[in-house]
Amino acid sequence: MRMYVYTPQFYIRPRNTDWLYNHLLPRVSEFNSGLDVYLQQSTLCTLKENLRKAAEITKGRLHLPLPNALMSKQDSIFSRRDVLRAKPDFIYGHSPSNIDDVPVAFNCGPTYPEVLRELGESEAFIARDIRVKQRCAARATLVVSHSHSNLHNLMTLFPEQAGKMRCLPFFLPHLEAVPEEAVAAKFTSIDRIQCLFVGREARRKALPEVLRAFQELSQRFPSRLRLKIITSFADGAVDVPAHPDIELLGETPRDEVQRLLRQSHFLLVPSHVEMYGWIYLEAMAAGCIPVAACGPNQKEILADGQAGLPTGPDPARIREALLPYLLHPETLLPLALSAVRRCKNEYLPGVIAKRFQEIGEETISLFQSTARTKSSKEA
């Protein structure tokens, strides 16, 4: 089975999460040999998507209105020649307006008007965003999103499409769960509780609030806690106090981040705004308990507190969430094991690769069934 993914071959924002994620998808075949992934190869489409991103950046900096043609890529016009060359069994991602003879699993993110308003977007922009998603969902064979929370949001936006919505979590090929014996060893004999903060945007990820909660707990439990900070302060400087139990590491390679997660007892990233949070899954896989944002997606990832602590960026809530575990360290291990097991059952790459194939099979079957029904009615 071949899956076609529309994504630029190169991008002017090489750290863009969506672009990086799409370029991970060919690795699905490493975990599921029944699925082959083809990334679009049209130079013209690549240039078009880069032009759109450049226009989006210009709009943000100069507050200029954008023509409709440059505003949305979810219903992009694909290169039909590239699609024919790829010979896909189904398309995943965008819902093209010019391809109606290939099944489409439209990957759709949520729209939260209140969040967009806080970001300064106009009512016209919000309305258009919803209309585009409605149009893409209507012509797609299936609609998929990365969480059940996302699907709930989409069902409120276009309830008429609810019957063809499916959950497909992120595919993260580097995600590997540590053995439960290693988790038990880490939590059985604790000299100091090791905490870790990870996030390029330190302010959005709530580093100031983490530092405040950490210092208050350190005063009550001297020499019982240690905090390591990984950040490049991409959204502004944060005053990190000179404290014997706080270590600033700066930006760190991913493999080293994974090693530090395996050594740590808590990940402290209770972000102000977090659309999803791959770092929480990485922490769970490493047997490190996430202290996380408290949005719908984070609560879902952490099973409403059974696999981590969705506190949000309130220093008091962070402090109160950690306090019982400092008073009773023996309660840490059951929570850490719950986090590892949830990650193994729901989010490891082998699980998601199988889910991709299931989505593909259902998309193809439903498309064929709909085509037969249409032919029968026309006859």
**pLDDT digit string, tens, across residues 354-370:** 999 999 999 999 999 98
Q: Is the pLDDT of residue 120 over 90?
A: no
Mean pLDDT of 282-303: 97
Tell whether 161 and 185 lie within a shared domain: no
- Tally the residues of the chain: 379
Q: What domain range is 229 assigned to?
A: 180-346
pLDDT at 75: 62
The Cα–Cα gap between 42 and 78 comes to 9
pLDDT at 66: 57
Which pLDDT tens digit goes with each residue over 156-168?
999 999 999 999 9
What is the domain-level CATH number for residue 231? 3.40.50.2000
Tell whether 338 and 353 lie within a shared domain: no
What is the domain-level CATH number for residue 118? 3.40.50
Tell whether 308 and 338 lie within a shared domain: yes
The Cα–Cα gap between 296 and 195 comes to 24
Mean pLDDT of 275-295: 97
Tell whether 81 and 121 lie within a shared domain: yes
pLDDT at 370: 84
Tell whether 188 and 334 lie within a shared domain: yes
**CA 169-170-176 angle, 5° bins:** 110
Tell whether 117 and 236 lie within a shared domain: no
Query: Which residues, 6 or more positions from 22, have their beta carbon under 8 angstroms from its beta carbon?
Result: 5, 7, 39, 93
At which residue do the structure tokens 């840490």 appear? Answer: 332
Tell whether 195 and 221 lie within a shared domain: yes
Tell whether 201 and 299 lie within a shared domain: yes
pLDDT at 125: 84
Which pLDDT tens digit goes with each residue over 175-220?
999 999 999 999 998 889 999 999 999 999 999 999 999 999 999 9
Pairing between strand 2-5 and 90-93? Answer: parallel
Which pLDDT tens digit goes with each residue over 33-89?
999 999 999 999 999 889 888 887 776 666 666 555 555 565 678 999 999 999 999
Total domains, the chain: 2
Tell whether 278 and 368 lie within a shared domain: no
Tell whether 52 and 140 lie within a shared domain: yes
Tell whether 317 and 374 lie within a shared domain: no
The Cα–Cα gap between 336 and 266 comes to 9
The Cα–Cα gap between 18 and 57 comes to 16
Closest CA to 289 of 248, 252, 250, 324: 324
Tell whether 252 and 271 lie within a shared domain: yes
